[in-house]
Structure 1
């Protein structure tokens, strides 16, 4: 349909919805929200700035170009993944995960759960250290998944429980490596397998870590209330076990608090967001200053990084940028997390209208973690925004960034 150029995003959503004969409750349900939320969006009472929700609305309305929804048709085409972003490593990972139920043959050789966990730990380190983490980790995951499944089938007793814990760990890594590229069914299968394997292993820390992973999927698919429930329940599950527990149990508990902080912030719940962040901060203070959780990278630096995210999600850009000024990013060993910090800083600069600064830090983010930027919707949205509206003197650089992260440019 032809949409007048002067319509707002909310008015466009309403026009497109009505042209397709969709009721407000139906469209809202497809986005995981209620009809009152959609009514406020359509009336202009509430601003729609969440990129994930914009994509979800566009997909539900079967719009392939986000500009049709936003009205911003001035240079960059942000393609709506009516499936998801694509990555060449996904088919092999999909096969390894989805063929699990048919893999009934026994392991071909001796299985050592300690060596299997060592491989999983090494792959997690690669995830956090490589600028091309999705590609390099994705190449290792199919064999790692298959070997972990074989170990669970071949072992019994304590060794089987250890292998189940490792399988849960590998499934969580699979969820990280395929975020935003896996179809929904794969994301849910992996999350469910991580949680069920942890429960079968009877490992409270693994159960809590799997809940953290499930919370990520729920939050990014626009189910914030469910995400918050999952991570807070998991935190309550593990909290009674923390006395005299290993540091990594405390690290998982702290990571759950930070997850809840960001989830609350994205919903505009400022008091709750800082309360959860404060709990994470207290956990970090109770651990050695150099402590880093091996998969969630919870520790002192990550708590400080999350303060920037919380402030940015609350649209407190001055506070976010002030907090970022006091951080030394190099103390964080995870490239992936450092790249995401700079994306958050870029968001803060954009909130203040400083596109020159936003472009500068986005280039830093891309240099640190190219695939983190290329496969994160919020980073792609920033790159597209900068291509459309960067100062004339910066247009060439903005275009190069948009191309590098896979945002299609015209002209």
Structure 2
């Protein structure tokens, strides 16, 4: 299986492998045989994860199997030639889960150097330099683990905070490139470091990463429940909330709103968006505490994304282009652009959607290359062409590795 298959073509491939007819599969997901035929022949574009997940469940495959994840991280001058396998090795080091060989051969840098190393990589992530982040995270994790092993007192808690945020960065980065299982491990490790430090805000932001990891494997209802549980954990601390806590609390609800939308729970989606908006209004402006990019604009971005997930395409088309994301980090700006492109494409405005993806690619080529939305949009446009695709579209498809 390669990146050159649409989601519909993958559904057909796995259906045949299961020895299942179109009539049977369509009935099991409460759809018509005609609908499934159109999906498999690319006449209907599958762009709602709730629908894709229902097909994956019936076919007994992982969500990632249908959406063509994970992505191969390209070697670049930024990434070097050690990418996801090196990060996997760092996360699966047996010394972290056994009593054997607990010492580290890595010399821990001073805390301020470690904190700067952390900031550099988080800033690079928000600049959508995914290869750079993936290539350098193993070193950051090794340094932070060594610091936790070597330090005591306040310095130990500082080291644990760096370690927790390093694992959170690993979790969000791995989610971006489709490595859902590794993302779960990273989120779990980060949560352990946060709890050991006794840091409520850090624990809250790691709980959000757990919610993202749940979503990456299609466990949307569990992510909704975790959002409620995590909110209950943070609420006793809100009376004198710092900007960092407000930001973490708000982004937790934003993550939950996406999970609720993917679970087709419109009521929970609205509830979470309202809670996030209240936190944003209390914060008073867009900010980037703990690299959350939280504020009124991020709430608006999620209103667009959840509308698209719920199938409210007109809302997404009307609202999406009006959201001014120029003050947000690049990763947020480009993610929103892809949502706008999805809505435009679903509204039969493919030329505008293509222009939106091309503009996003100019800003953050790696993010567009690795995101399932951009890859599947471009692939669907190629398939839907009644005449020879334009050179611009073909070139984009080849850059995204969805066309030979």
User: One fold, TM greater than 0.5?
Assistant: yes
The aligned counterpart of 2:30 is 40
CA contact (8 A) 1:17 1:61 kept: no
The counterpart of 1:135, out of the listed 125, 131, 136, is 131
Q: 1:12 to 1:290 in 2, by over 3 A?
A: closer
1:345 is aligned to 2:340: yes
Say whether 1:50 aligns with 2:48: yes
Q: Please identify, of 144-153 and 256-265, the stretch whose mean Cα deviation from structure 2 is larger.
A: 256-265
Q: Deviations over 1:175-225 (max 9, x none)?
A: 122225465542222121011111111111111111111111111211001
Deviations 1:267-310 (A, max 9, x none): 22223212211111111111132422332211222111111111
Query: Which residue of 383, 388, 391 maps to 2:383?
Result: 388
Q: Secondary structure at the match of 2:294?
A: coil
Write the deviation string for residues 57-76 of structure 1: whole angstroms up to 9, x where unpaired: 699569x996xxxxxxxxxx
CA separation in 2, counterparts of 1:9 and 1:44?
A: 15
Structure 1: unaligned runs, 5 residues or longer: 1-7, 28-35, 67-77
- For 1:291 and 1:338, the matched residues in 2 are separated by 14
1:97 aligns with 2:91: yes
Q: Please report the RMSD computed on the Cα atoms of aligned residues, expressed in angstroms.
A: 3.4
Other-structure match for 2:173: 177
Cα distance in structure 2, aligned partners of 1:110 and 1:265: 43
Counterpart in the other structure of 2:119: 121
> 1:177 & 1:216 partners in 2: Cα distance?
11
Q: Which residue matches 2:110?
A: 112
Deviation at 1:37, TM superposition (A): 9.3
Q: How many Å separate the matches in 1 of 2:237 and 2:65? A: 49
Q: How far apart are residue 395 of structure 1 and its match?
A: 2.4
Provide closer, same or farther for how the CA distance between residues 306 and 196 of structure 1 changes in structure 2, counting only shifts above 3 A. Answer: same
**Aligned equivalent of 1:236:** 232
Aligned to 1:355: 350
Whole-Å Cα distance in 1 between the matches of residues 248 and 189 of structure 2? 19
Contact 2:165 2:190 in 1 (8 A): yes
CA contact (8 A) 2:286 2:293 kept: no
TM-score normalised by the chain length of structure 1: 0.80
Pairing 1:135-214 to 2, within 5 Å after superposition: 135-179=131-175, 181=177, 183-214=179-210
Evaluate the alpha carbon distance shift between residue 289 and residue 352 of structure 1 in structure 2; reply closer, same or farther with a 3 A threshold. same
Paired with 2:389 and 2:12, the residues of 1 have a C-alpha distance of 31
Alignment CA distance shift 1:16-1:61 (3 Å): farther
Helix, strand or coil at the partner of 1:297: coil
Q: How far does the alpha carbon of each residue in 1:38-92 deviate from its partner, in whole angstroms, 9 at most, with x for none?
A: 4425767899643563895699569x996xxxxxxxxxxx8x45xx322251122
Cα distance in 2 for partners of 1:200, 1:354 equals 51
Q: Secondary structure at the match of 2:239?
A: coil
| Inter-partner Cα distance in structure 2 for 1:344 and 1:58 | 27
Residue in structure 2 matched with residue 33 of structure 1 by the alignment = none
- Is residue 407 of structure 1 aligned with residue 402 of structure 2? yes
- Kept after mapping to 2: 8 A contact 1:123/1:137: yes
Which one is further off, 179-188 or 168-177?
179-188
CA distance in 1 between partners of 2:370 and 2:213 (Å): 15
Aligned residue pair count: 373
Distance in 1, matches of 2:179 and 2:316, equals: 33
Match of 1:85 in 2: 71
More displaced 10-residue stretch of structure 1: 281-290 or 346-355: 281-290
Q: Work out the CA distance in 2 between the residues paired with 1:54 and 1:401.
A: 30
Q: Once the 2 structures are TM-superposed, how far is the Cα of residue 105 of structure 1 from its aligned partner? A: 3.1
Select between 197-206 and 394-403 the one with higher mean Cα deviation: 394-403
Contact kept? 2:160, 2:197, Cα under 8 Å: yes
- Maintained 8 Å contact 1:355/1:391: no
Alignment match of 2:248 (pick from 247, 252, 262): 252
Whole-angstrom distance in 2 between the partners of 1:309 and 1:162: 36
User: SS of 1:19's equivalent?
Assistant: coil
Q: Distance in 2 between matches of 1:233 and 1:37?
A: 35
What is the CA-CA distance between 1:358 and the residue it aligns to? 1.0
